[in-house]
Structure 1
């Protein structure tokens, strides 16, 4: 009761007009924040989440995987056939859910079926992984006429690649029961674990392959939780043993207690705010830290208090840096409230011909879900780093990478939590030198690594590294899964894309 009262007190103090922090803009509407996030990506889903009245697949597939091979009808090369491509789309009826089905894409490796299996998770929370598929590292990119063109730097060049719409209610994933909406990483990771078990049952030929978990942004929460869940399942012999080798987090939110104080330091270093702004906004840090500590031991009220208190730091920085700044890439400006234009993907995936090819019936594609976003707010300020050391000790690799021009999940905060993480190799990692990450004769970033842990600051990239630096991102993945991340290539081609 005392902790709950303190949480309420923090909220009242912060939101009080007479508070000394009153000059600092404080967010107070959760729905508006979710709506703003989605509109800044130029996405306008008709529905706030995919909760359907009736399950369209119930009569044909009560449980397990429902998967089909397909070809997108809008490929520029219309002569491509299903036999030419190992492309699959499907639904998985989540084993321990009430009525939830996760939608996924699976693209067989262009090189070899023996390549690792890589799963990608997008953040939000509540944004579809198709954002990465069509704008970052998938086999195709969407053109303005809604046709698909091949992506020569798709990660399916070196891996068997899976994209999942998760948590439930995101993308084409849906349920007919609102109880299936997630509010914690336990829910998210259990659903993903059930999915990956079913996936390998459907594709037993891939079970021997190395398995890697990747993603970005709020997936900095999902990825460690999912990796820990797979590791736990392996140790407990719960089902099929999955050959988990590593996990990679790109520009993620993982340890808020360390990452939020880095906002003002990063903003000052990059010239977004003045020293006086920096010092004023930093007065919120002690309150933020207390709120995060309460969130780690208490329930929903303290976690919501922490979300509101700590995000006022970010809001204040944006207010001073300018309303038109793109907080995903500070080199760029937003046009009005639209920082990126991902609307072509949304239009394309809601085309009837595309839906028929994918076998999604009449399910409406929800690019980013406001309901899923709000449902996960009680999880936002929790520390997802806590389970990582045990994975590192067991030899499971972690790569944390971050584009240098991202504000919202900036490289400085990510570097700090990685260095502060306590594990047997911590001192050696912190003492290890930063070396150039050279790709085909050009410096693409700075790399620090020791044992199972690597941190890469990526040059000339913002929040979405594979979109801004597709060549370097593909080379990063290839060398990381091959155990040669710190080695240099010998070709002369410059892999750092021009700004």
Structure 2
């Protein structure tokens, strides 16, 4: 999926392939990984091959990157950044922290991470009542019901009954078998972008394109099924969903590696309120300095009339709000997203 958001290709509603004018591959060499095993075209024939926790995922990704550098040794000296969005709010910090732990062996030039609308610290990030009420998608009575369902999730999380916490979440938000409370209340079929109440076409287009026989033959995947999402993987990962990866994120920040969190301001599921919940409950050493820092107005070009968003940073940590973007800023605001990544990696100030 990320290859068609961050990458060089775009899939139209008619399933035609065009060039992405704002691909990150214009500026950087990028590797795309179907993760965890069982998603995308990745697969295993052994039930033990599926991941159940972030430590296993980090170890698998570490093994992958080591094998990559064995084959493509010319790239080993390059700066290495890890990026992802949504649930990669756990994958990316976990992998990044593992790279730091293994740095004495791997000798990789790990520099930092980029995470968009990341689900990292669930107990502090779940805040649908405030978000939906402020957007007018629920009223005050419905907000009370949402708040109670959220509290059920938090109570289970505190008692480490993570599977039960996920069951409450399905009732509230993500049920596949029947409409969730929020779907029935708001009429929305997805909660990634306030602008669309139906499923997002960008996701559907990629799924349909990659299941075409001609495409499958061209990329040599044989009979392997493409899984945009996998109920099998979800079953193995149920216990992980409400566990926190916040200590891994904090460890990366405290190590001095660069960290960028970015948030589309029209996301519902992991939006501004959710990201603030993560930030306001941080224990990293420069948090107070970051909190006092001045926020910058960000334009892609200084003479642009439209604002791209806002950036706030201190030392090696930055948080960017991408204006007029939902859960996937690279789909909604590709020009701004490319500029954001370019500024972060090349250390170009956002206020210029």
TM-score (norm 1): 0.65
Equivalence for 1:303: 162
**Residue equivalent to 2:137:** 272
In 1, are the aligned partners of 2:120 and 2:245 still within 8 Å (CA)?
A: yes
**2:177 maps to what in 1?**
none
Instruction: Flag the 1:487–1:372 CA change in 2: closer, same or farther, 3 A.
Output: same
| 1:463 alignment counterpart | 327
Confirm whether residue 340 of structure 1 aligns to residue 201 of structure 2: yes
Q: 1:197, CA displacement in angstroms?
A: 0.7
Distance 1:367 1:326, change over 3 A: closer
Mapped pair 1:132 → 2:2: yes
2:76 to 190, 195, 207: 207
Note if contact 1:171-1:368 (Cα within 8 Å) is conserved in structure 2: yes
* 1:226 aligned partner: 95
Q: What is the root-mean-square deviation in Å for CA atoms of aligned residues?
A: 1.9
The question of whether the paired residues in 2 share the 8 Å contact of 1:267 and 1:317 is answered with: no
Assess if the C-alpha contact under 8 Å between 1:210 and 1:244 holds in 2: yes
Indicate how the Cα distance of structure 1 residues 231 and 180 shifts in structure 2: closer, same or farther if over 3 A, else same.
Answer: same
Alignment coverage as a number of residue pairs: 343
Name the CA shift for 1:388/1:357 in 2 (closer, same or farther; >3 Å): same
Shift of 1:313: 4.4
Alpha-carbon spacing, 1:326–1:355, altered in 2? closer, same or farther (3 Å): closer
Indicate if the aligned counterparts of 1:476 and 1:485 stay in contact, CA closer than 8 A: no
Asked if structure 1 preserves the Cα contact closer than 8 Å seen for 2:13 and 2:201, the reply is no
Corresponding residue number in structure 1 for 2:66: 197
Q: How far apart in 2 are the matches of 1:343 and 1:273?
A: 27
Taking structure 1 as reference, are residues 186 and 264 closer, same or farther at Cα in structure 2, changes over 3 Å only? Answer: same
For the 8 Å contact 1:213–1:223, the answer to whether it is kept is: yes
Does the 8 A contact of 2:182 with 2:188 survive in 1? no
Larger Cα Rg: Structure 1 or Structure 2? 1
**Separation (CA, whole Å) in 2 of partners of 1:215 and 1:355:** 25
SS state of the match for residue 299, structure 2? Answer: strand
Q: 2:111 aligns with which of 218, 237, 245?
A: 245
Give the distance between the partners of 2:194 and 2:211, measured in 1 at CA.
31
Residues 332 and 145 of structure 1, relative CA distance in 2, 3 Å threshold: closer
Deviation at 1:450, TM superposition (A): 0.8
TM-score, scaled relative to structure 2: 0.91
Q: CA deviation at 1:202?
A: 1.2
Query: Given the alignment, which residue of 354, 370, 380 partners 2:241?
Result: 380
CA shift for structure 1 position 263: 1.4
Q: Measured at CA, do residues 304 and 474 of structure 1 come closer, stay the same or move farther in structure 2, by a change above 3 Å?
A: same
Distance 1:276 1:356 in 2: 53
Higher helix share: 2
Q: Distance in 1 between matches of 2:118 and 2:281?
A: 16
> Displacement of 1:279 after TM fit?
2.9
Instruction: Quote the residue 2:148 is aligned against.
Output: 283
How far apart are residue 215 of structure 1 and its match?
0.8
Match of 1:396 in 2: 257
Structure 1 pair 449–341 and aligned structure 2 pair: CA distance change class (3 A): closer
The equivalent residue for 1:147 is 16
Which whole-Å CA distance do the structure 1 matches of 2:153 and 2:45 have between them? 37
Following TM superposition, by how much is the alpha carbon of 1:167 offset from its aligned partner in structure 2, in angstroms?
1.1
Instruction: String of CA shifts for 1:214-261, please: whole Å, max 9, x gaps.
Output: 111111111111111111110xx23x311111111111111111111x
User: Do the aligned residues in 1 keep the contact of 2:11 with 2:206 (CA within 8 Å)?
Assistant: yes
Residue 226 of structure 2 is matched in structure 1 by 365
Q: Structure 1 unaligned segments of length 5 or more: list them.
A: 1-130, 296-301, 489-499
Could you tell me how far 1:437 is from its partner in structure 2? 1.7
- Could you say which residue in structure 2 is the equivalent of 1:407? 268
Relative to structure 1, the CA distance from residue 339 to residue 467 in structure 2 (aligned partners, 3 Å threshold; closer, same or farther) is: closer
SS of the aligned residue for 1:161 comes to coil
CA contact (8 A) 2:81 2:110 kept: yes
1:292 paired residue number? 157
5+ unaligned residues in a row in structure 2: which ranges? 174-179
Say whether 1:426 aligns with 2:287. yes
1:263 to 121, 128, 133: 128
Three-state SS of the structure 1 residue aligned to 2:30 is: strand
- Identify which range, 462-471 or 285-294, moves more after superposition: 285-294
* Residue number in structure 1 paired with 2:337: 473
State whether residues 264 and 323 of structure 2, in contact with CA within 8 Å, keep that contact through their aligned partners in structure 1: yes
Query: 2:176 is matched with which residue?
Result: none
Q: What is aligned with 2:312?
A: 448
For residue 352 of structure 1, report the CA deviation from its aligned partner.
4.1
Deviation at 1:468, TM superposition (A): 0.1
- SS of residue paired to 1:182: coil
